[in-house]
């Protein structure tokens, strides 16, 4: 459509219905996003398969319901993260078709047009240190799935019982991309980075107490890893890790 606006303008000029000065003036007044530039945004929409992820933290239940009503009426894929129990209950009672993960604090409904990416060859593996990291693992896992990529999760393989990790060694080695989730001392991504050759995304969690500084220690430990190939996202940011993993995995087309 926007491209059409540009074409229309140029055709007016070509047919000499406006002159060069008028055309130049109008060109400058077309907002940038009306030009090719805005494709970035559209491209993103197409790529992730849903128009908008709803980050619910700080939004009222009423606001969330409004957005979801709008998206469902337009038959868009719905995906929301960081929803509290009150919001999830309200969604469940109003929309039968919405699926919910209390652990992952997420909800979703795939539109009719949603389908998994078919040309992606690799599988994303999510590994976590302890059972308390489950909310972050679940947020990452569901995000990857909604974005259409294959994914498995291996939980509770923290470094204090390192043999548990080795029991899953072959699964890890097959990962196209690994998301490694850990709280407390945040050591698991370092160990995994030394075991496999794929890109690793470390996700520190706020799990712990006392001098864990709400996850800052796990975050900083991952950034200071002596292992190469490891990059890091914000504390508890399962969704962000999923987005980055999907960008990486899309290279394996």
Return the residues of window 161-190 that contact a second copy according to CB under 8 A: 161-164, 166-170, 176-177, 184-187, 190
Calpha distance 132→114 (Å, rounded): 31
Backbone CA torsion sign across 155, 158, 163, 168:
positive
Q: How many residues does the chain have?
A: 253
Strand order in the sheet with 106-109: 53-55, 78-81, 106-109, 99-101
If binding is defined by CB under 8 A, does position 197 make contact with a second copy? yes
Instruction: Pick one of 104, 130, 148, 238: the residue that binds a second copy (CB under 8 A).
Output: 130
Query: What distances in angstroms separate CA 124 from CA 38, 87, 173, 181, 249, one per listed residue?
Result: 30, 29, 11, 13, 7
Nearer to a second copy, 98 or 196 (CB): 196
* Closest approach of a second copy to the CB of residue 83, in Å: 14
Return the residues of window 62-81 that contact a second copy according to CB under 8 A: none
| CA end-to-end distance (rounded Å), the chain | 30
Is the Cβ–Cβ distance between 50 and 106 less than 8 Å?
A: no
Q: Of the ranges 73-81, 92-100, 104-112, 212-220, which one interacts with a second copy (CB under 8 A)?
A: 212-220
If binding is defined by CB under 8 A, does position 118 make contact with a second copy? no
Return the residues of window 31-50 that contact a second copy according to CB under 8 A: 31-38, 40-41, 43-44, 47
* Closest approach of a second copy to the CB of residue 96, in Å: 26
* Closest approach of a second copy to the CB of residue 34, in Å: 8
């Amino acid at each position: 459509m926007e491209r059409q606006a540009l074409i229309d303008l140029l055709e007016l000029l070509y047919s000499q219905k406006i002159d060069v000065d008028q055309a130049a003036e109008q060109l400058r007044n077309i907002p940038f996003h009306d030009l090719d530039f805005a494709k970035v945004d559209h491209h993103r929409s197409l790529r992730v398969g849903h128009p908008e992820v709803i980050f619910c933290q700080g939004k009222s239940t009423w606001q969330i319901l409004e957005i979801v009503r709008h998206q469902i009426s337009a038959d868009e894929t719905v995906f929301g993260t960081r929803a509290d129990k009150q919001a999830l209950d309200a969604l469940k009672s109003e929309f039968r078709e919405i699926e919910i993960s209390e652990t992952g604090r997420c909800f979703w409904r795939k539109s009719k047009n949603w389908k998994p990416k078919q040309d992606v060859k690799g599988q994303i593996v999510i590994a976590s240190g302890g059972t308390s990291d489950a909310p972050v693992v679940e947020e990452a896992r569901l995000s990857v799935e909604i974005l259409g990529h294959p994914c498995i999760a291996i939980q509770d393989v923290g470094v204090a019982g390192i043999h548990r990790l080795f029991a899953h060694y072959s699964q890890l080695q097959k990962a196209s991309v690994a998301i490694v989730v850990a709280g407390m001392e945040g050591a698991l991504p370092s160990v995994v980075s030394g075991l496999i050759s794929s890109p690793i995304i470390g996700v520190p969690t706020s799990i712990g107490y006392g001098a864990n500084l709400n996850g800052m220690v796990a975050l900083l430990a991952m950034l200071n890893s002596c292992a190469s190939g490891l990059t890091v996202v914000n504390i508890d940011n399962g969704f962000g890790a999923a987005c980055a993993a999907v960008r990486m995995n899309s290279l394996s087309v």
